[in-house]
């Protein structure tokens, strides 16, 4: 009689554990749940690793269950976007495109010379430099259009940003001769990076205290 009572209690205890949502799962099984979709209340497991509920796939069955959600790239980037583009994986050039009424326009083009896809999101930093590598007055102003969006740059592909500046002296800048020191190059820093790449500056002096308007990167 006593043995029968113990057996009944054992069955009742197993039922309680199953009703509590599988709280006695082995640590390895609990860890696996963190990388898969959460089971419905009807499919919560039992205290036995091999047990399963009818109509719900066994977590140990490689062919069952919902398709796993693909992991995101670092920084919330879409799969296949790679990491951020760095100065080490890029080459750059500044190219004048248009001139009129004292304004100058150009593009800053970067090319992915690395062996992996990378992503540019937002604006480049830019500091004008003289022939000795010293800083020349630079006032970089970000334009709001177009809105910044991630630009996926595959190996060999390019992205570009628009530039605009003036050659008309303003304020106390001299009207004869260069309004500001002549830049020879520029240090350009990819978005969210700290190391620059150096590019030749072909645009002459930048008046207005070195003011340059720059757009976000876009696919070239």
Quickly list DSSP for 138-192: -EEEE---SPP--EEE-TT-EEEEEEEEE-S--TT--SSS-SSPPP-EEEEE-TT
| 36 band by pLDDT with thresholds 50, 70 and 90 | very low
More confident call, 183 vs 145: 183
More confident call, 108 vs 54: 108
Checking if the pLDDT of 210 tops 70, the result is: yes
* Domain boundaries of the chain, sorted by first residue: 2-69, 87-219
The pLDDT of 103-127, averaged and rounded, is 97
3-class secondary structure, 24: coil
d(CA 68, CA 64): 11
Count of C-beta atoms within a 10 Å radius of residue 217: 28
Which residue do the tokens 């940003």 mark? 161
Write down the pLDDT at residue 79: 54
3-class secondary structure, 185: strand
More confident call, 211 vs 71: 211
User: How far is the CA of 5 from the CAs of 1, 12, 13, 97, in angstroms?
Assistant: 6, 11, 12, 91
More confident call, 69 vs 212: 212
CA dihedral 146, 95, 91, 158 (to 10 degrees): 50
CB 50 within 8 A of CB 59: no
**Which tens digits make up the pLDDT trace of 94-111?**
999 998 889 999 999 999
**Which tens digits make up the pLDDT trace of 145-154?**
889 999 999 9
Q: 87-219 — its CATH code?
A: 2.60.40.10
Checking if the pLDDT of 64 tops 90, the result is: no
Checking if the pLDDT of 214 tops 90, the result is: yes
The pLDDT of 135-153, averaged and rounded, is 94
The pLDDT of 5-32, averaged and rounded, is 37
The pLDDT of 24-37, averaged and rounded, is 36
Q: Give the predicted TM-score (pTM) of the model.
A: 0.64
The pLDDT of 58-83, averaged and rounded, is 52
Checking if the pLDDT of 30 tops 60, the result is: no
Write down the pLDDT at residue 211: 98
Report residue 120 as tokens.
């540019």
Checking if the pLDDT of 47 tops 70, the result is: no
d(CA 10, CA 219): 67
The pLDDT of 154-164, averaged and rounded, is 98
Checking if the pLDDT of 73 tops 70, the result is: no
Checking if the pLDDT of 6 tops 70, the result is: no
CB 33 within 8 A of CB 23: no
């Amino acid at each position: 009689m006593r043995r029968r009572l113990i057996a009944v209690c054992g069955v009742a205890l197993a039922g309680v554990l199953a009703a509590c949502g599988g709280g006695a799962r082995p640590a390895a099984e609990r860890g696996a749940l963190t990388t898969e979709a959460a089971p419905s209340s009807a499919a919560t497991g039992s205290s036995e690793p091999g047990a399963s509920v009818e109509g719900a796939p066994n977590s140990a069955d490689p062919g069952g269950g919902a398709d796993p959600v693909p992991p995101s790239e670092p920084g919330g980037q879409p799969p296949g976007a790679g990491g951020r583009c760095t100065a080490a994986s890029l080459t750059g050039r500044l190219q004048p495109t248009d001139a009129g009424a004292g304004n100058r326009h150009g593009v800053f083009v970067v090319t992915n010379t690395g062996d992996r896809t990378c992503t540019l999101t937002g604006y480049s930093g830019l500091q004008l430099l003289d022939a000795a590598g010293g800083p020349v007055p630079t006032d970089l102003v970000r334009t709001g259009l177009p809105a910044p969006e991630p630009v996926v740059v595959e190996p060999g592909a390019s992205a570009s940003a628009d530039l605009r500046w003036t050659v008309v002296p303003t304020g106390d800048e001299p009207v004869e001769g260069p309004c500001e020191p002549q830049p020879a190059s520029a240090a350009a820093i990819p978005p969210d990076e700290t190391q620059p790449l150096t590019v030749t500056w072909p645009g002459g002096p930048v008046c207005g205290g070195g003011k340059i308007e720059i757009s976000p990167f876009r696919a070239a």
